[in-house]
Amino acid sequence: MTVGNQFADLFFLICIGFISGFIFDFYHILKKYIRVTPWLRLILDFSLWLIITMITAFLLLLVNWGEVRLYIFLAMGGGLILYYVLFSPFVKRIYVFLIDRFLKITHFIIKIITRFFRFIFSPFVKILRRLCRPAYQKLVKLKNKIKNFYQPLGKILNKINHKRRIF
C-alpha cells in the first residue's frame, strides 16, 4: 500500500466521522421537535447507533476491506471532533431552518386541504344535521330514559357490592 493510498484511506475515515456527526446532529435536532416517551427515546437512540454502526461497517468495507485497527478509530474520532468544532453549529442552524420550513409548508398544505374539504362537505353536513336532528333527539331521550330506569338499580347494586366480601 502506497503512502498516497494510506492518506486517501485516512481522508475517507475522517469523512466517516463527519458523516456520523452529521447523522447525530440531525437526530439531536429532530428530538427537540418530536416529544416521545423515555422508553421510545431509548429505542430511537439504539436505532440511531445501529444505523451509524451499519453505515460505518459498510463504508469500512469499501475503504479498507473492513479491517478494524486503532488508527481507524482515531481517524473517525478525529473526524467527528473536527466536525463538531468546525461545522456542527452551522449545520444545526441549517437543520433547524429546514425543519421549520418543512413544518410550515406541511401546516399550510394541511390547512388548504382541510379548508377545501370543509368547503366541499359543509353543505352536505348541514343537510345531514337537519335530516338527522329528529333521530338524534330521540336517541338522547331514549338514553335518558334508560339511564333513569337503571339508576335506582345501580344504587342498589352498589350497596350490595360494598357490603359483600369475596374472601
pLDDT in tens, 93-106: 999 999 999 989 99
pLDDT in tens, 75-87: 889 999 999 999 9
Domain boundaries of the chain, sorted by first residue: 3-86, 99-167
Q: Is the CB of residue 63 less than 8 Å from the CB of residue 6?
A: no
Picking from 101, 103, 84, the residue whose alpha carbon sits closest to that of residue 92 is: 84
